Structures are given as structure tokens and as C-alpha cells.
Structure 1
Amino acid sequence: MSSYTQYITAGVVTAGVIGGAYCAYRLYERASRVNIPENWTQVGTLKDLYVYPIKSCGAVRVDKAECSLLGLRDGWLRDRFLMVVDDKNNFITARSYPELLLVEPSVRSSVLTLNQANMEPISVNLAEVVSLQKPKTATVWGVTVPVYDCGWAVSEWFSRLIDRSTTNYRLVYYASQSSRNLRINSINPIFKFGKEDTGAFPDEVSYNLINQASVDDLNTRLKETQVTPRSFRPNFVLSGAKAYDEDNWKFVKIGENVFEIIKPCVRCILTTIDPETGIRNPKTEPLETLKSYRQLEDPAARRTAGNSPRMGLQMALRSGPGGLISLNDPIFVA
């Protein structure tokens, strides 16, 4: 029995679990109405599988994970279910605080452990946080979300890391089993962007895929630097497809898990920060090169994205939740 199942069996926050199960059912009910394709073409295999427990912090590479309506999960390891907030409870990211990228999280049972080269390790028991804390509120992309505060010790750790203070930043955990709301004015009507596709704390939707061949092609165009798929913080890295073939896909199937492509992933300044060192590229690469040849072509889409270039896919789960994805799974498209 997993730690999550034990935790549920113990009856902790039972009402919240029941509510979450109902929300999951409603989300699955909506997804099941999508016209899933019957004919698929294999384009490659799953090369890498990443979970990002804390928004803007380091990745955890896993061999397999479960697909939930809120993103990848493996017990208490969940994708972007935690984030760091400032003293006004507004989320912060590595765009402004690149040192976050060098925080290496790991999750064992329900215990989250953080490592960083210049800091002592610290751990927090997420099961205790959920069972003992009452939900508060924080803000992510202008939307108020329910969160559990992860306690003073880990918050003091992040505060010392970021600005050598003790109380300016806090670590919070998502306190819901349904996707956060979307800002209505952020939804471009040309994309099939459902209000239930947002997940917990990802920027837009719960799943992101990058094509290794597209990254390889980008590297042939870069003159003074090279990048890896990790520069784009994907959940899925596809191997075997042709460069930029993903521009023409509508659905992706990994193993037996079906995803609808909601929109291209438009890229920001975060891609110019080396995920291994936290150092910004002085010439804002690879973003500048991407801008030269990867602009959105649809005028309506450009009105929202501006000159932000595309690289990768934003996707939402359309098969039933609970399916497993493993490294080397075949990847099909339609």
C-alpha cells in the first residue's frame, strides 16, 4: 500500500478527499466527451520523463509515473504541486530568482527533501503538512489558489537562499484536488483551453512535451551555446520524430494515455538561464535565435503571444486518469 493510500485510509481530511474524487470524476466526464482519434501513427519513444515538485525548482527524473488530471504523480511526488511565495503570498519563479533552479528536490514516501550546493539539506513531511495545516490562500498568475503552508523551517531555508533573510519567502503546497481557475482574459479563443486543464501551479496546462529532434536542430543554429531539453522544463522528451513535426499534431498518445494538444508552448526568458548553473545567457540565447524562426503564424495567436517563439507542446489528459507512463513507451500522434 502506498503512503498516499495509507494516508487516505487513515481518514485524514476525508471531506477534502471526497470532494477531490467528485471533481476528478467531473473532469474525466468532460474529457471523455472529446472525440478521441481511432487511427494513430507511431513517431518515436519516450526518452525522458520529468516531474517538477516545486514550481521553478529542479526536476526529478523518473522511470514511470501515473497520469492524473492535475499532472504526473508517483505517490506524494506530484508535478508542480508546490511553489515559493513572497511575503505578500504572490508566487515567484526562476525568471527573477534563478537560484531556484539549483534546488534539487526528492520525495520518499511523503517526505520532501531539498538539496542545494551552498545550503544544508532540509526535509518536510507533506502528509503532516496536509493533515495539520488549514488551507490559506496564495496568488499565481493573478488567480487566488488554496494552499497549505509548509512550515517555518523550510520557509526560512528558502528565505536564506534567496535574499539571506529569514521570513521573506514561504513554501506552500496545493490544497485542492481540482485544477486552479484561469484568468478569463488570458484564454485565447483559438485554443481549446478548458478551465479544467490548468493543473495546480504550472503556467498553463498540466503536461508539456518537447521533441529532442527540434532541440537538436536549434543547436545547429546556435553559435556560442548549446541547450538540452531541460532548458524547456518538459514532462516528456520524445525521441525518434523529425524536427518540428509536432507543429502539425492534434493528439499525442504515450503508451495508452491520450493527450489533446491545447496549444504550442511559447517561450520566455526562463529558457535563457542555464538549468545546471543558474547563470543567464548574456545574449539571451536560445530565445533570440528561436524568435528568428519559430514565431506563431496565426495572427490571432500572435496577439496573445507577441513575439514569444514556440517550442514544444502544451497538452491536457483526455484518457482516464490513473494510467501509467514509462520510459521507452511508444509515442503515437494523430
Structure 2
Amino acid sequence: MFNNQVSTYVTASITAAGVLGGAYYAYQLYQEQHPKLPEKWEQVGVLKNIFVYPIKSCGRIELEKAECSILGLKDGWLRDRILMVVDDKNNFITARGYPELLTVTPSIKSSVLTLKHPDMEPVHINLAEVVAQQKPVPSQVWRVPVPVFECGYEPNEWFSRLIDRSSMKYSLVYYASQKSRPYRAHVNGYYKFKKNDTAALHDEIGFNLINEASVDELNTRLTECQVTEKNFRPNFVLTGAKAYAEDNWKFLKIGENIFEIIKPCTRCVLTTIDPETGVRNSKTEPLTTLKSYRQVEDPRERKMTGSSPRMGIQMALRTQPGGMISVNEPIYVAY
């Protein structure tokens, strides 16, 4: 009798511990996916510009308002970094190695994407037909597998002629998922991305902001060239804040949309290519100057970033997707 009572007690204790452990795990998971949002906010400026880049490394489209989605900014069929150019091995290419991509001007009307370039005839792609008729094929962004739809012969031939005058070496592809792409595990080990933070074909994260005052301050240090916020390919341009104030922010709010600042945006050689002409700066500016005073200071973080300097912030949406953002709205931050 005694042994039976002990066995029953032990079994009940283990069951209770399992239930409590499961509840604790569920609570921790909820906290991870739904961080406590700030209640106190400080206005630091207003939203000056909204930029969307439908094709990775190609030209921008400026909007007056946009919707915040899991995959980044959108306006109907216009989505941020939803397409990219790949080589004959289906690996993505960027303007770092192919600066002529920057001079491609995209536009979208309804579901039709139009590509223009000063030296090329326009080409039109119906994205609705691409999504309806194609089957996903594998591709990669920074060695992370992503499913894509192939956009067809005409844009492939167009980009191939633009880049190296070949008949069919490069292809245009469209992101074939409604879920964020997987993150790079070694980066997540430090910055703690969540599963919906990495968006579509973005390098790291779905939303990027540049502070106009920081760009202005950088220009005071440049002697042979000047840059604009367009060198840094942001989604949002903030005006009214102090230079580099963004280094200390933890959260940012535009309208009812709240973003958590995950990491500084560390910069590469793409900033040294004129966003309008695709011409490289012969002295690798502004990157050389940025490296002289905008290095990551934390030793552990520095192992992730190397010598890449900070300029701008990378943000993840922490309120429900579907919220709208408009130019001239006030921007608030929390520390």
C-alpha cells in the first residue's frame, strides 16, 4: 500500500512538473515572439521618405505611404526586395559586383513590372502570371536556401544583355513564399533575430532606416565627394533627429507600427557606388571615412561585423502586420 502511494505521488509530481515546465516554455516562447513594448515614447523627428526596392540591387521607387508586412514594405504587387537577379547557377548577384544593376529603373502598375534602362528597350513582366504559372525552384541568398519563381525568357535575355551582352547567362526570379526566409544561424547567435524578421530577399532584415543628420555629418568629413541617403538604400529616411542619435535607440514607432531595433546596419562597398550612375568612387568613399570613426565597439559584436562601419539601423516589426506608414508622420523612439 505504501509503495503504491509513493508511486502515485511520484507520478503526479512528474506530471505536474511536466505541465509546469511546458507552461514555462510556452511563456518563454511567447515572450520571445512578443517582447514587452515600451509605454513611453520620445519624438525625434518625422518621416521624410519611404523607399522600396522591388529588385535586389536595382533602382528604388519612392512612395507616399506603404503597408508593413511580414516580408517588408508593400503597396499591392509592389514589394521590397521581392525579386533578384541570379546567375546561371541560380546564385544571386548584386550591385557590389555588377554596379549596372543600380541603373535599372523598375515600376509596377497593377501586377505588371516594367524595367527601364537608358541603353535598353523597356521590358514588361506580369508578376501575377509568373506566380500562377511557375513552380518554385531553389536559389540562395548568402548561402541560405530560398524558393523562387523564374520570371521567363524576356527579362532573362534583357538582364543578360545588360550585364555582359550574353544571350542567356542571368535570370530574374521572384520570391516564392509568404514566409520570411531563414536567417543565417551564425549572425542570429549574437543578434537574436526572430523567425519573421528576415523578410524576403533582403540581406538581413525587413526594415532599414537612415538618419538624415548622420548623412549630413558624414558629408562634413568628406573632402572630395558628397553622398546622400540614397547611397545607403534605406526604406525610411528620418529628418529632425541629432546625428548618430540612432545608436542609442531600442524601439521606434511610426504611426501605430512599432519596430524593435535589432542591430546597426554595417556597410560595404555598395555605398561607394553612385546610386544614379553606377560609377564607383575611385577612393572607396564614403566607406573609407566611415571606417575611421564608425566602427562597432563591442568586441563580441565586432567578431560578427569585422571592419564594416555602422550607418543606419536594421529593424523588425513588433506590432501586427498590415499597418500603414505615411510620409511626414512623426517618428518616436524608446531607449
Normalization by structure 2: what TM-score? 0.90
Write the distance in 1 (CA, Å) between the matches of 2:64 and 2:192: 30
Write the distance in 2 (CA, Å) between the matches of 1:195 and 1:141: 17
Write the distance in 2 (CA, Å) between the matches of 1:175 and 1:282: 38
Matched residue SS, 2:216: helix
Shift of 1:31: 7.7
Write the distance in 2 (CA, Å) between the matches of 1:288 and 1:77: 34
Deviations along 1:169-222, whole A, 9 cap, x unmatched? 000000000011122123242x23223210111100000000000000000000
Q: Determine if the alignment matches structure 1 residue 251 to structure 2 residue 259.
A: no
Within a 5 Å distance, the mapping from 1:119-198 to structure 2 comes to: 119-189=120-190, 191-198=191-198
Unaligned runs of 5+ in 1: 1-28
Q: Which residue of 1 aligns with 2:41?
A: 40
Q: Which residue of 1 aligns with 2:260?
A: 260
Matched residue SS, 1:201: coil
What is the aligned length? Answer: 305
Unaligned runs of 5+ in 2: 1-29
1:265 partner letter: C
2:123 partner letter: I
Shift of 1:30: 7.7
Q: Which residue of 1 aligns with 2:101?
A: 100
1:102 partner letter: T
Within a 5 Å distance, the mapping from 1:281-300 to structure 2 comes to: 281-300=281-300
Q: What is the root-mean-square deviation of aligned Cα atoms in Å?
A: 1.1
Q: Which residue of 1 aligns with 2:205?
A: 205
2:315 partner letter: M
Deviations along 1:145-180, whole A, 9 cap, x unmatched? 110000011110000000001210000000000011
Shift of 1:32: 6.2
**Is the 1:31–1:317 Cα contact (8 Å) retained in structure 2?**
no
Farther-moved stretch of structure 1 (133-142 vs 264-273): 133-142
**Is the 1:32–1:319 Cα contact (8 Å) retained in structure 2?**
no
**Is the 1:31–1:319 Cα contact (8 Å) retained in structure 2?**
no
Write the distance in 1 (CA, Å) between the matches of 2:269 and 2:45: 29
2:38 partner letter: P
Q: 1:115 to 1:199 in 2, by over 3 A?
A: same
Q: Which residue of 1 aligns with 2:11?
A: none
Q: 1:302 to 1:32 in 2, by over 3 A?
A: closer
2:218 partner letter: L
Write the distance in 2 (CA, Å) between the matches of 1:164 and 1:30: 53
Write the distance in 2 (CA, Å) between the matches of 1:246 and 1:255: 18
Matched residue SS, 2:203: coil
Write the distance in 1 (CA, Å) between the matches of 2:31 and 2:317: 11
Q: 1:180 to 1:63 in 2, by over 3 A?
A: same
Matched residue SS, 2:303: helix
Q: Which residue of 2 aligns with 1:21?
A: none
Within a 5 Å distance, the mapping from 1:68-79 to structure 2 comes to: 68-79=69-80
Q: 1:176 to 1:30 in 2, by over 3 A?
A: farther
Q: Determine if the alignment matches structure 1 residue 305 to structure 2 residue 305.
A: yes
**Is the 2:183–2:193 Cα contact (8 Å) retained in structure 1?**
no
